[in-house]
Amino acid sequence: MGVLFSNTAALALLAGYLLGSIPFGLLLTRAAGLGDVRAIGSGNIGATNVLRTGHKGLAATTLLLDAAKGSVAVLLIDHLARRYTAFEAFQLAYLAGLGAFLGHLFPVWLYFEGGKGVATYIGVLLAAHWPAALVFCLVWLAVALSTRYSSLAALAGAAAVVLYYAVTGWAGLPLIGIMSLLVFAKHHGNIRRLLAGQESKIGARSSAPS
């Protein structure tokens, strides 16, 4: 575990953070002449709020790019670590993924006010261990179809991923656990509304991971 306290680990985390902090939702909506996406709906920069502009293509592109941030961070650092360091690449790759996730949640360019991180979370899983991403997506789909609550589906998916890592003993559980806890923390408002029976359901304004 010495790698976690090395300068190399700090660089991997920082590189991931800088990638993750690119606010694609904000950049895309501004480029399309739609203004600041933070001024509408939930004020979020993720795909769900971009969808509230009425531009499904922009929302889908935001979703893909936000996921790609996590995947690129993991794959890039994994590649570099295998070539240039003596540390185990997977540890640095997971750190880069955590960095990308933190960058999306707390982007320095936006005064640390970012999205909820679900798309980036999925992107990290896809690159680090794709079966975990499949677990998340299957649980998300099952819960979303049965309850029509996108937020509850995301929370159930994150919990299922932690359980999957714990049961299989797959490496990376501590960092995935941190990310999953942050997914819950960023959904605190949704959790309150769910408990109060006031959460919006998936309907005409379909929810996508933000």
Mean pLDDT of 101-118: 94
Per-residue exposure over 106-138, b if at least 16 CB sit within 10 Å of its own CB, e if not: bbeeeeeebbbbbbbbbbbbbbbbeebbebbbe
Answer whether residue 201 is part of any domain. no
Mean pLDDT of 47-72: 91
- Is pLDDT of 206 > 50? no
Question: CA 174 to CA 100: how far, in whole Å?
Answer: 16
Answer whether residue 60 is part of any domain. yes
Question: CA 80 to CA 50: how far, in whole Å?
Answer: 34
For the chain, percent of residues with pLDDT exceeding 70: 93
Answer whether residue 18 is part of any domain. yes
Answer whether residue 209 is part of any domain. no
Structural domain boundaries, residue 23: 2-196
DSSP of 111-137: TT-----HHHHHHHHHHH-HHHHHHHH
Mean pLDDT of 40-53: 83
Number of domains in the chain: 1
Answer whether residue 206 is part of any domain. no
Mean pLDDT of 93-106: 96
Cβ count within 10 A of residue 25: 31
Sequence-ordered list of residues with C-beta below 8 angstroms from that of 149, at least 6 positions apart, any chain: 143, 194, 199, 201, 202
Q: Note whether 205 and 52 are within 8 A (CB).
A: yes
- Is pLDDT of 204 > 80? no
Specify the pLDDT at position 110.
92
Answer whether residue 208 is part of any domain. no
Answer whether residue 74 is part of any domain. yes
Specify the pLDDT at position 51.
84
Question: CA 127 to CA 101: how far, in whole Å?
Answer: 13
Question: CA 64 to CA 204: how far, in whole Å?
Answer: 21
Answer whether residue 207 is part of any domain. no
